Amino acid sequence: MQVFAASDIVEVAIRIEENGINFYKFAEQIAKQEDAKKLFSQLAQAEAAHKRTFEKFFAAMEKYNPPEQYAGEYSTYLRNYVDNNLIFTKEIMDRQLAKVTDTVGAFEFAMQRELDSVLYYHEIKNLVPAAQHEAIDKIIEEERRHYTMLCDMKKRYENR
């Protein structure tokens, strides 16, 4: 039995990007240094661009419409699944964000989420049409660059 269709996987990617945007906006607010604020702002904008890319994929894909008890049940299920089980999850956000009280902590949190995103997007590449692989590869490379940028900035802050 197929649990998720390709469109479901892309819908999950959209939610991951939304959660990433929210985190980077939070990190920008807690950062005290202008260079860190600027980096977090740039990363939020990049996540928003990724979200738009996935939304374009999603709009062009055939959707899976399972039987529902009420309108929107399946979509609600997917959204809750992402929020509670994947990468930028609600549980992680609530529990771990409480521990993020400074810029270095925000860097560490974000670095792990970027690595998780790279892995997820690498895996979903096999579940979407080949015509979309190039765009996903670009997003993977951007997520890797985000990780490198965060690592570099974290090192600078640890040496202060």
Look at residue 41 and tell me whether its pLDDT is greater than 50. yes
Does the pLDDT at position 15 exceed 80?
yes
Token reading at 37: 């604020």
Domain regions of the chain by residue span:
6-158
- The pLDDT value given to residue 148: 96
Cβ partners under 8 Å of residue 107, min gap 6: 36, 150, 151, 153, 154, 157
Instruction: Give the tokens for residue 52.
Output: 């738009």
99 vs 93: CA distance, rounded Å = 10
CATH fold of 6-158 reads: Ferritin (1.20.1260)
Q: How many helices (H) and strands (E) does the chain have?
A: 6, 0
Please say if the pLDDT value at position 59 is more than 90. Answer: no
pLDDT given at position 17: 87
Higher pLDDT residue, 95 or 15? 15
Q: Which two tokens stand for residue 133?
A: 């692989």
Lowest mean pLDDT segment, chosen from 27-31, 62-66, 135-139: 62-66
